[in-house]
């Protein structure tokens, strides 16, 4: 059982290509998904590219390149979609992508796409000031940096009215990163989060609002990694964070090279997949370049996508 963290109401308030993909697959392209008292919507804010080996770990290239073709630098294109949860007077985001506060060199290294935050918020009839909460699954740069922009030589929040939620264990890991994760936790963004005055450190499973839970799972990826679960009217969606970042990672042994404890990742994936299978929950993919969310089923060798869902 999660502890409750109910808050008072706050302020009210690449996509064409992806739509074609779902149209060709005869998948519903409705703009929102309703779960209980909440509506969920994908904000397709940004894409980037990472080395294929870092994304598929020990899986040989001859296998993973059948799922997604690399570019001439062996990079694979990935989404950094943001999940918008609306209800009870709140506008909640899960993660924030990379944003704009990067040097030209880093933008080139990551093949960083344009930042479409304002366009995607406008599509939802929202502005930056309307965002009330941002939940970080963890503080690796591709999940936290987009919450900040450079202004007058310093990093400031792009969401002036939002509170930021992160697990205490993850904040501690980000503040004093181990050698393996030092490049994943980019200090200026961690410092900006600290100085924002809007950070809320949480411990373990917490219910942000009735039916919106932050669940401590995925410590094998990084300490204090959390998932977000939205439940209502016999329907549940789980944001997979970097525990299951894409449909290509449904096989329990397909992990990221960034994982700090691969066996723990396998254990947590098995537990989550069992819930998804038995309870018919939806799984939301943060980094899948094509599929936003899906139910799953058992395949011949491992769990696979059953029905794709457009959020």
- Separation between Cα atoms, residue 78 and residue 218, nearest integer Å: 20
User: Tens digit of pLDDT for each residue in 106-116?
Assistant: 999 999 999 99
Write the CA distances from 240 to 56, 217, 225, 237, integer angstroms. 16, 10, 10, 9
Q: What is the mean pLDDT of residues 252-279?
A: 96
Tell me which CATH code domain 3-309 carries. Answer: 3.60.15.10
pTM flag (> 0.75)? yes
Q: Where do the domains of the chain lie?
A: 3-309
Structure confidence at residue 272 (pLDDT): 97
pLDDT in tens, 157-205: 999 999 999 999 999 999 999 999 999 999 999 999 999 999 999 999 9
C-alpha angle 271/296/211, rounded to 5°? Answer: 65
Name, in order, each residue with C-beta under 8 angstroms of 126's C-beta and a sequence gap of 6 or more.
Answer: 13, 84, 91
């Amino acid at each position: 059982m999660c502890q409750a963290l109910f808050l008072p109401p706050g302020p009210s308030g690449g996509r064409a290509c992806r739509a074609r993909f779902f149209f060709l697959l005869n998948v519903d392209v409705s703009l929102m998904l309703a779960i209980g008292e909440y509506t969920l919507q994908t904000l397709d804010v940004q894409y980037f590219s990472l080395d294929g080996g870092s994304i598929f770990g020990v899986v040989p290239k001859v296998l993973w390149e059948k799922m997604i073709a690399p570019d001439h630098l062996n990079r694979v294109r990935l989404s950094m979609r943001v999940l918008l949860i609306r209800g009870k007077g709140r506008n909640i985001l899960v993660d924030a992508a990379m944003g704009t506060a990067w040097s030209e060199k880093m933008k080139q290294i990551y093949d960083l796409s344009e930042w479409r935050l304002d366009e995607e918020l406008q599509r939802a009839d929202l502005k930056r000031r309307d965002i009330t909460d941002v939940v970080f699954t963890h503080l690796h740069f591709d999940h936290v940096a987009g919450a900040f922009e450079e202004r007058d030589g310093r990093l400031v929040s792009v969401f002036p009215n939002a509170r930021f939620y992160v697990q205490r264990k993850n904040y501690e890991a980000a503040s004093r990163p181990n050698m393996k994760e030092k490049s994943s936790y980019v200090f200026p963004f961690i410092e900006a989060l600290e100085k924002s005055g809007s950070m809320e450190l949480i411990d373990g499973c917490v219910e942000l609002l009735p039916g919106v839970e932050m669940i401590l799972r995925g410590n094998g990826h990084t300490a204090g990694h959390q998932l977000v679960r939205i439940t209502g009217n016999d329907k549940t969606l789980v944001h997979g964070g970097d525990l299951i970042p894409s449909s290509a990672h449904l096989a329990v042994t397909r992990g990221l090279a960034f994982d700090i404890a691969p066996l723990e990742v396998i254990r947590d994936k098995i537990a989550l997949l069992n819930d998804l299978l038995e309870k018919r929950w939806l799984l939301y993919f943060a980094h899948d370049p094509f599929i936003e969310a899906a139910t799953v089923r058992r395949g011949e060798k491992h769990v696979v996508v059953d029905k794709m869902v457009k959020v």
